[in-house]
Copies of this chain bind each other. A is one copy, B any other.
């Protein structure tokens, strides 16, 4: 892998196993996620593509708690190319000078190679960030020898199946389900019906132009029972160059009531590929202006970090607030496209500080599914409040395979925490009034129902939960859950107070609608003040859960000899309950998220105790370790963890990138850099910067959006520079304690 600032380049061809890298080269725009598959003459599953549209799901295989299952659909392949040279279909042999490149600046993925020493090929593609329904594809065929007879089809191909979510390395992808139940093939357009319960319709259309040495050349319309498009039969002389430029569009009955008409309109309109591309680049420029991070270093970290941010932006919906970002974004079928706490705790902070409107949409998704969360709480016998499902479909419905989802209640804390986080950074009180307060009240009610007062010890307890550490048994009083819940309750009280005093009419309406009365608040305060957490006074050690310390030590080296997860190394799940073993940052993450509640001594104690007991069997684990380690001045240990984050998918360290890359970790990379190494925090209009850069870094430059202002920050070994780009800035900046 080569890193050149804005580009990541791989020249490994690895034909037999190339799909392992496909997810890594995903481009997208929040509507589309397009894996880096090979569009030309792909064989079987490998050639199926991997193009997902946010929220477009079909019938699934896995059993969900509710019995209904669904999975992301691999939609019709709008990039399909059939290409032969002198009658020979190009294939994976006779390939030389191969490389594939991700240009993050313009969000273009391209591949080049020479085939059979006769033609130089280049395929590039992008997802239009200006009009998210569109994608662009460019194909260049340059003849290296005399008289090459080229036969090229530029197609939309409905002959696809899913890639199968259970595919994992080193296995190649195993074909999954064909979700298309009905196909209507038109001229350069198709209409497909999916096998989901709504019988969602997808329309795809394309405009193709061809040029030889810059001059337009005509093609022939082509269609068969499954594909449609243009065919170009051309003879190229040495050095002749055939260029195909294609813009395709996809509309769906899910989002666009007039999807069919919009498709027709697209076909009627003149489309200029270059203009579309330029518009997309311009949009990306805006995003990068707000989001880019520059690291001055002789490592590849600068590019690697950029990659993390790039994929986050590719996955973030801009067209709707009816979907959110799944654990694997739109890059693979693992977790069926579902949304977890990953979004609120790991991905959201990047958006909060670089694209607040996007952050608001992601939170609005939770508001849009609040009614489902209320319903779920009732199903779980809770008379009030809302319980968001752990693994949630775009419809807000629980998709966890077992019933275990309903123990992972920290999700409620995570959502409330994210609301506070967003409002704090954006100053978007309107969100709080129109949506946030209602969510916060329902979550506070959830905690009220979920905590039990013990006459025995006088404390409240949150019983029967699973914290972030999913290798524990079902436990009581998980510190992460209880601390976060207490903060939620206090914040709900504050927001209810603010609403009543500042927005009395809205307060009254809301209170009436959800039957809220002020007397509830008293109980919330009482719970928040008296939630039990295990604590070892001597060691200043917060207990992940009170009985953690009484379990057996676990021999990680022996039972996790490789990067494979423990469960795949022969230890059954239930077995883990015996041990002091933490799957992923739990108490360590807590101290990252609520740094002011713990002393340095406690942070250090927690890190030093839990870190050796943590097996990092989740991609959510490295970032909090980097983050907390940097805050307790273990800078180089922090940097080692940071490397795990920044290169996690690039180096396929989890051995499962084939099924999708890890979006929580992308956000984690950003947080460990910004909150960890740069020591940035923002609260109540005050931005604090207290950096501890790793040895290898000379400086970091970045922009943050706070309360509508664009703050430019430069951190270097020599010092900190930070200023607002707004006139009349209301933000106070404290650098290493100085204003």
Chain A residues with CB under 8 Å of chain B are 380-381, 402-404, 406-407, 452, 454-456, 461, 463-464, 473-474, 476, 536, 547, 549-552, 572-575, 577-578
Contacts and interface: CB of A to CB of B under 8 A. Distances in A.
B549 A454 contact: yes
Contacts of A574: 402-404, 406-407
B403 A547 contact: no
Nearest to A534: B456
Contact of A473 (B402, B454, B474, B549): B474
Nearest to A547: B476
Q: How many copies does the complex hold?
A: 2
20 contacts: A381-B575, A402-B574, A403-B572, A403-B573, A404-B574, A406-B574, A407-B577, A452-B550, A452-B551, A452-B552, A454-B549, A454-B550, A455-B549, A456-B550, A463-B578, A464-B551, A473-B473, A474-B474, A474-B577, A476-B547
Contacts of A551: 452, 463-464
Nearest to A460: B550
Nearest to A462: B550
A473 B472 CA distance: 12
Contacts of A473: 464, 473-474
Contact of A464 (B380, B403, B406, B578): B578
Contact of A461 (B402, B454, B550): B550
Looking at A407, A547, A572, the one whose CB has the most chain B CB atoms below 10 A away is A547
Contacts of A547: 461, 463, 476
Contacts of A552: 452
A535 to B, nearest CB: 10
Contacts of A464: 473, 551, 577-578
A550 B404 contact: no
Given A452-B550, A474-B474, 14 more contacts: A403-B572, A403-B573, A403-B574, A404-B574, A407-B574, A407-B577, A452-B552, A454-B549, A454-B550, A455-B549, A463-B547, A474-B577, A476-B547, A476-B550
A536 B456 contact: yes
A648 B295 CA distance: 76
A573 B403 CA distance: 9
A465 to B, nearest CB: 10
A705 to B, nearest CB: 42
Contacts of A403: 572-575
Nearest to A403: B574
Contact of A463 (B452, B454, B550, B573): B550
A403 B573 CA distance: 9
The 5 closest A-B pairs by CB, nearest first: A403-B574, A473-B474, A461-B550, A464-B577, A454-B550
A407 B574 CA distance: 9
Contacts of A455: 549
Contacts of A550: 452, 454, 456, 461, 463, 476
A376 to B, nearest CB: 13
Contacts of A381: 575
A582 to B, nearest CB: 16
A456 B452 CA distance: 24
A456 B549 CA distance: 9
Nearest to A402: B574
Contacts of A452: 550-552
A578 B461 CA distance: 12
Nearest to A405: B574
A412 to B, nearest CB: 16
Nearest to A573: B403
A470 to B, nearest CB: 14
Contacts of A454: 549-550
Nearest to A574: B403
Nearest to A537: B456
Nearest to A457: B550
A577 B476 CA distance: 11
Nearest to A454: B550
Contacts of A461: 547, 550
Contacts of A456: 536, 549-550
Nearest to A453: B550
Contacts of A575: 380-381, 403
Contacts of A572: 403
A474 B574 CA distance: 10
A474 to B, nearest CB: 4
Nearest to A553: B452
A539 to B, nearest CB: 9
Contacts of A476: 547, 550
A566 B321 CA distance: 41
A549 B459 CA distance: 13
A550 B461 CA distance: 7
A572 B461 CA distance: 23
Looking at A380, A463, A578, the one whose CB has the most chain B CB atoms below 10 A away is A578
A473 B475 CA distance: 9
A551 B451 CA distance: 9
A8 B737 CA distance: 91
A440 B504 CA distance: 73
A62 to B, nearest CB: 17
A452 B548 CA distance: 12
A461 B381 CA distance: 33
A484 B549 CA distance: 24
A447 B463 CA distance: 28
A404 B572 CA distance: 11
Contacts of A474: 473-474, 577
A473 B465 CA distance: 11
A552 B455 CA distance: 13
A406 B571 CA distance: 14
A566 to B, nearest CB: 13
Looking at A402, A403, A456, A550, the one whose CB has the most chain B CB atoms below 10 A away is A550
A403 B381 CA distance: 29
A590 to B, nearest CB: 20
A550 B453 CA distance: 7
Contacts of A402: 574
Contacts of A404: 574
A406 B573 CA distance: 12
Contacts of A549: 454-456
A550 B577 CA distance: 21
A204 B257 CA distance: 76
A252 B536 CA distance: 62
A550 B482 CA distance: 15
A203 B463 CA distance: 58
A577 B551 CA distance: 20
